[in-house]
């Protein structure tokens, strides 16, 4: 089993005729994802080189191809409208890869998606993958392995490093999700932790955090009170200079929360093991937490 996506996921790619949308739609299709449609206003009726039908709107893709998931590759100034269009068209999940989206645009679009009951992942994220079932994003599918360990991360590249170590140690993944590094994004730690807690085929969870904000501290509190499955955490930015802004736009430290030390303390107080290096996560999971 997996959360959010599976073999029945039918994806419409918003911006499929652009460079990034075209490239990654091909890669997702090669992985086995059902790319059923793309959108590009004014190009409806065309087909991509791989034969995917192009529509003018997401609504057309939902009606004609049964699309239930959207992935967005349109430029940042158009992301707000793209998210709202997809949510209004009736998909159940929107994954926004685009970076540099204005925060106020994300706030407005996220709220609209919520009123429609639509899950949003991103923006500025690598997407998600349920190994062997579906890839909706830009993750390198070859490093993933089917299994029962969930991965939730704010960092795309750290996700790949951690997953590579898991896979090489024989520990497969149920679903891996990059939530995005912006100050405001869609689904975050707590919502995803609840989904994985309720997923009968996920038996352990890896949480990858980084400096900035208090999402990890909130997650630690939620884990202590609600999660019964083993959780291992890693926090990036332990050696970040105190007077520098590091990494993602969301890596902003304020008084009382946001530093690596404060996040580590929150997880330790919640009884969650903290890995000092990504490679140490495998040892904390133990042999019994693999596929």
Q: Which of 10, 119, 145, 248 is catalytic?
A: 248
Q: Is 207 left (phi over 0), alpha (psi -120 to 50) or beta?
A: beta
Residues present in the chain in total: 291
Burial of 157 (0-12, 13-18, 19+ CB in 10 A): exposed
Alpha-carbon distances, residue 114 vs 89, 102, 132, 252, 284 (angstroms): 14, 18, 29, 26, 36
The structure tokens listed for 56 are 């003018």
Question: Phi and psi of 178, rounded to 5°?
Answer: -100, 115
Query: Which residues, in sequence order, are CB contacts of 102 under 8 Å at separation 6+?
Result: 76, 80
Q: Tell me if residue 248 is catalytic.
A: yes
Question: Phi and psi of 33, rounded to 5°?
Answer: -65, 140
Helices (H), 2-91: 19-31, 58-65, 79-89
The owner of tokens 């579906």 is 134
Q: What is the largest CA-CA distance in the chain?
A: 57
The structure tokens listed for 141 are 């599918």
By annotation, the residues acting in catalysis are 248
């Amino acid at each position: 089993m997996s959360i959010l996506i599976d073999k029945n996921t039918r994806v419409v790619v918003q911006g499929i005729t652009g460079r990034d949308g075209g490239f990654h739609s091909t890669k997702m299709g090669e992985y086995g994802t059902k790319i059923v449609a793309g959108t590009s206003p004014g190009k409806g009726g065309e087909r991509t080189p791989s034969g995917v039908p192009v529509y003018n709107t997401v609504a057309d893709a939902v009606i004609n191809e049964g699309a239930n998931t959207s992935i967005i590759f349109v430029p940042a100034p158009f992301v707000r409208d793209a998210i709202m269009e997809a949510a209004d068209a009736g998909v159940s999940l929107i994954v926004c890869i685009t970076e540099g989206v204005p925060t106020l645009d994300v706030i407005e679009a996220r709220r609209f998606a919520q009123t429609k009951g639509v899950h949003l992942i991103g923006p500025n994220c690598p997407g998600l993958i349920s190994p062997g079932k579906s890839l909706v994003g830009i993750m390198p599918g070859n490093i993933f392995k089917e299994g029962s360990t969930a991965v939730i991360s704010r960092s795309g590249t750290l996700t790949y490093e951690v997953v590579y170590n898991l896979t090489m140690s024989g520990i497969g993944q149920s679903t891996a999700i990059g939530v995005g590094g912006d100050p405001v994004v869609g689904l975050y730690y707590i919502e995803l932790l609840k989904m994985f807690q309720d997923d009968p085929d996920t038996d352990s969870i890896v949480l990858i955090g980084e400096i900035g904000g208090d999402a990890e501290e909130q997650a630690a509190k939620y884990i202590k009170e609600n999660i019964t499955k083993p959780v291992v955490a890693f926090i990036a930015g332990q050696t970040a200079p105190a007077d520098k802004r590091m990494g993602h736009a969301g890596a902003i430290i304020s008084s009382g929360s946001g530093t690596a030390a404060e996040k580590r303390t929150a997880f330790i107080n919640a009884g969650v093991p903290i890995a000092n290096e990504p490679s140490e996560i495998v040892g904390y999971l133990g042999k019994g937490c693999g596929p």
